[in-house]
Structure 1
Amino acid sequence: MAISESIQKMPLAGKLCCFLAGLQALAVIGLETYILVIVLKDIGNVFASWSSDKGVAIYFLLLVIATLFGLFLMIGGVMNGDTIQIIGFCLFNLFAMSLAIFRFYQIRTWIESNIFVGYLVYPKVKDVMLASIGVMAAFTAVFGVLAYFLYIAFGWEIYKRVGADMKIRRMYVNYRTMVFLLKIDFFVFLGFAVSYIILVLKSSDPEFAITIAFVPVTMSVLFLAFWGLRRESGPAMWTFIFLLCGSAAYFVYKCARMFDPKQEAKFLTQRPMMTYYTIISLVVISATLHQAISCLANFGYGLKERIEITRGKRSDMEQIQDYYVNAAGDRRMNLDG
Structure 2
Amino acid sequence: MAISESLQKMPLAGKVCCCFAALQALAVIGLETSILVIVLQKMENVFASWSSDKGVAIYFLLLVIASLFGLFLMVGGVMNGDTIQIIGFCLFNLFAMTLAIFRFYQVRTWIQADIFVGYEVYPMVKDIMVASIGVMAGMTAVFGILAYLLYIAFGWEIYKRVGADLKIRRMYVNYRTLVFLLKIDFFVFLGFAVSYIILVLKSSDPEFGITVAFVPVTLSVLFLAFWGLRRESVATMWTFIFLLCGSTAYFVYKCARMYDPKQEAKFLTQRPMMTYYTVISLVVISATLHQAVSCLANFGYGLKERIEITRGKRSDMEQIQDYYVNAAGDRRMNLEG
TM beyond 0.5: yes
Aligned to 1:86: 86
Deviation at 1:332, TM superposition (A): 8.4
Read off the aligned partner of 1:20 and give its amino acid letter: F
Deviation at 1:291, TM superposition (A): 0.2
Aligned to 1:39: 39
Identity across the alignment (%): 89
Is contact 2:188-2:281 (8 Å) kept? yes
Aligned to 1:24: 24
Equivalents in 2 of 1:243, 1:332: separation in Å? 43
Could you report, residue by residue, the CA deviation over 1:37-95 in whole angstroms, capped at 9, with x for unpaired residues?
00000001111222210111000110000000000000000000000000000000000
Aligned to 1:281: 281
Could you report, residue by residue, the CA deviation over 1:131-188 in whole angstroms, capped at 9, with x for unpaired residues?
0000000000000000000000000000000001111000000000000000000000
Equivalents in 2 of 1:334, 1:223: separation in Å? 35
Read off the aligned partner of 1:28 and give its amino acid letter: V
Aligned to 2:125: 125
Provide the alpha-carbon RMSD of the alignment: 1.6
Read off the aligned partner of 1:260 and give its amino acid letter: D
Deviation at 1:323, TM superposition (A): 3.6
Is contact 1:302-1:321 (8 Å) kept? no
Equivalents in 2 of 1:266, 1:130: separation in Å? 29
Is contact 2:164-2:335 (8 Å) kept? no
Aligned to 1:238: 238
Structure 1's consecutive aligned runs of 4 or more residues displaced over 3 angstroms after TM superposition are 323-326, 330-336
Q: Secondary structure at the match of 1:81?
A: coil
Aligned to 1:159: 159
Deviation at 1:318, TM superposition (A): 2.0
Aligned to 1:293: 293
Deviation at 1:5, TM superposition (A): 1.3
Could you report, residue by residue, the CA deviation over 1:5-37 in whole angstroms, capped at 9, with x for unpaired residues?
111110000000000000000000000000100
Deviation at 1:103, TM superposition (A): 0.1
Equivalents in 2 of 1:206, 1:41: separation in Å? 34
- How does the TM-score come out when normalised to structure 1? 0.97
Counterparts of 1:170-209 in structure 2 under 5 Å?
170-209=170-209
Q: Secondary structure at the match of 1:73?
A: helix
Aligned to 1:247: 247
Read off the aligned partner of 1:177 and give its amino acid letter: T
Is contact 1:14-1:78 (8 Å) kept? yes
Read off the aligned partner of 1:197 and give its amino acid letter: I
Aligned to 1:12: 12
| 5+ residue gaps, structure 1 | none
Is contact 2:97-2:133 (8 Å) kept? yes
Distance 1:16 1:165, change over 3 A: same
Aligned residue pairs, count = 335
Deviation at 1:331, TM superposition (A): 8.6
Q: Secondary structure at the match of 2:48?
A: coil
